[in-house]
Amino acid sequence: QQWDFCLSKSRGNFPTAREKRFLTQLSTCSLGSLSGGRRLNWSFSGARNSFRHRNKATRKSLTSLQGSKRCKTQWHRPITNSIFNSHFKESSRNEEFHIEHLVAKGAFGVVFKVKEKETPSKREENTSSQASYALKVLKKSKLIEENSVQQIKDEADIQKVCGHNQFIVQQIDLWQNRHNLYILSEYVPNGELFSKISQFSIDLVRLYVGEIALAIDFLHNAGIIYRDAKPENILLTQQFHIKLTDFGLSKWLKLGANTRTMCGTFKYMAPEILCGEPYGHAVDWWALGVIACQMLTQKCPNIKRYLLRQQERNQRNASSNMASDGGGSECLSNAPSIAQINGCLLDSDSSDRDDDFLPESVGSLSHEGQDVLRRLLAIGPRERIRSVMQLQRIALYKDYQLDAKRMLKLSPQEIIRRDGIRIYEDNQFEQCSSELATKAFHNF
């Protein structure tokens, strides 16, 4: 009771003489004896005057206890960091790399070739050459403005899951700062496919179409639709094998499922995408057929002209049917829409179709070349080649095994030298000096 009385008085008015004597006696006791040998968890929040009434031992104990629990202030995290925090860590690695030159530009950012800076630990290990990487820098504000936040997260996940494949660029690390996202990937030294090679022999086409097909088939079996197969996204390694990159338009999609999003590069978009119909993984095989057509003929198929002609033909048939029925207003209201006409085009019988959208030079190709184009560029998705197993059965791959390990043992450089194919060495982006590239990197 005296203890409670003194404590209440110490918080209020100044203590009396009797209370001072009690406090003097109390100050000689240790904190351990008061608590029965058990240490109390004291706190001294509030005015510092309440701390002065404790004895020296108590003040020392409280000071050490408070110091052990002291923590740094948690400052406010920018909302742009929180949006991407699930995939991109906030510790920046920008200072670890030296910018060499600009590699490519895209809708949301740029890609630089970077090299690791020399560190004391690497100097001790006697590593004379630092590794080179591709660093993709993306503007957060642009991604948020274009509603592409989930798209970039899917890209990071897909490349992380599939990067171990021999024909897909491997992702190394992800991080962010206040304004940008950074994706560090392996650097593929020989650049884009068509920037190095403009003419292809049938043997080189067989090799490259097979490697691209293996990469696409791997993605499809992993539940991914690529939707951006084009020469700009096909890179050549030091040994001139291919690697797919840029999964910005890729999407998680189970085999057999459909989606309706219209995206991709127009020249490589399948008819079902252009017609606004639901589509599946077969669109990637159409894009592979367009790339094969470019390799063999240096031209793309003119699918737009073909679709327009088929649409006009169906419209004429619909008009003649309405005229034969009397041409009343009831018949006009039942006229087929553009989407229905296109749907009829895709579902029509194969005997009603022709392949005159292919370049005229296809007629001068070998039987194997013509066969692979017609099978990959079939208008109906169900008639199109849709797997490596089906590709293996066509004439181009007779007595040729489509296996990743076997194909990596082949040398594209030997085929290029044997067939006298010219290789281009210049890269338009490498003309940018290191100083200008570094300045562009820091100003981005």
End-to-end CA distance of the chain: 71
Mean pLDDT comparison of 91-105, 119-133, 240-254, highest-scoring range: 240-254
CA distances from 128 to 114, 115, 184, 411 (A): 16, 13, 22, 28
For residue 340, what are the CA distances in angstroms to 129, 154, 209, 303, 379?
61, 33, 34, 18, 16
**Strand, coil or helix: 195:** helix
Phi, psi of 225 (to 5 degrees): -105, 130
Bridge partners, 113 (sequence order):
101, 134
| Whether pLDDT at 323 is above 90 | no
Per-residue confidence band for 86, with pLDDT thresholds at 50, 70 and 90: confident
The region, left, alpha or beta by phi > 0 then psi within -120 to 50, assigned to residue 142 is alpha
The backbone region for 276, taken as left when phi is positive above 0, alpha when psi lies in -120 to 50, beta otherwise, is left
Name the fold adopted by 79-187. Phosphorylase Kinase; domain 1 (3.30.200)
Q: Is 60 helix (H, G, I), strand (E, B) or coil?
A: helix
Query: Alpha-carbon distance 355 to 317, whole Å?
Result: 21
Q: Is 3 helix (H, G, I), strand (E, B) or coil?
A: helix
**If we measure between CA atoms, which residue out of 368, 388, 115, 414 comes closest to residue 241?**
414
Residues belonging to the active site: 228
How does pLDDT run across 293-303, given as a tens digit for each residue? Answer: 999 999 999 88
User: Among 232-236, 263-267, 282-286, 310-314, which is the least confidently predicted range?
Assistant: 310-314
> What was the pLDDT predicted at 249?
93
Residue 249 — φ and ψ, nearest 5°?
A: -105, 0
Q: What local confidence, expressed as pLDDT, does residue 223 receive?
A: 96
Contact indicator for 97, 116 with CB cutoff of 8 Å: yes
Q: For residue 411, what pLDDT is reported?
A: 92
- Indicate whether 330 pLDDT > 70: no
Residue 27: which of 60, 49, 58, 61 has the closest Cα?
58
More confident residue, 326 or 331: 326
Residue type, 257: A
Residue 232 and residue 291 in contact, taking contact as beta carbons nearer than 8 Å: no
Which CA distances in Å does 271 have to 255, 261, 289, 357? 19, 14, 13, 12
Give the residue-averaged pLDDT of 179-206: 91
Give the mean pLDDT of the chain: 79
Q: What is the pLDDT of residues 138-170, one digit of tens each?
A: 999 899 999 989 999 999 999 999 989 999 999
Lowest mean pLDDT among 269-278, 314-323, 413-422: 314-323
Instruction: Write the pLDDT tens digit of every residue in 33-55.
Output: 554 544 444 444 444 455 455 56
- List the CATH code of the domain at 193-301+358-418: 1.10.510.10
- Reported as a single tens digit per residue, the pLDDT across 344-368 is 444 444 444 456 788 888 989 999 9
Instruction: Render 305-326 in DSSP notation, one character per residue.
Output: HHHHHHHHHHHHHHHHHHHHTT
**For the chain, where do the domains classified as CATH 1.10.510.10 start and end?**
193-301+358-418
Please answer whether residues 308 and 302 qualify as being in contact, where contact means their C-beta atoms are separated by less than 8 angstroms: no
Q: Is residue 412 over pLDDT 90? A: yes
Helix (H, G, I), strand (E, B) or coil at 57: helix
- Computed on alpha carbons and rounded to an integer, the radius of gyration of the chain in Å comes to 35
Q: pTM for the whole thing?
A: 0.72
Q: In the structure encoding, which two tokens stand for residue 15, read together?
A: 């203590």
- The closest alpha carbon to 266, from 304, 310, 298, belongs to 304
Q: Span 394-419, mean pLDDT? A: 91
- Amino acid 272: pLDDT: 92
Decide if pLDDT at 406 tops 60: yes
Is the pLDDT score of 198 beyond 90? no
Instruction: Look at the block and give the residue holding tokens 């489509």.
Output: 402
With cut-offs at 50, 70 and 90, classify the pLDDT of residue 27. low
What pLDDT was estimated at residue 273? 93
- Cα(310)–Cα(291) distance, integer angstroms: 24
What is the three-class DSSP state of 127?
A: coil
Give the pair of three-digit tokens for residue 144: 């948020």
Domain(s) labelled CATH 3.30.200.20 in the chain stretch across 79-187
Of 267 and 29, which is predicted with more confidence? 267
70: pLDDT strictly greater than 80: no
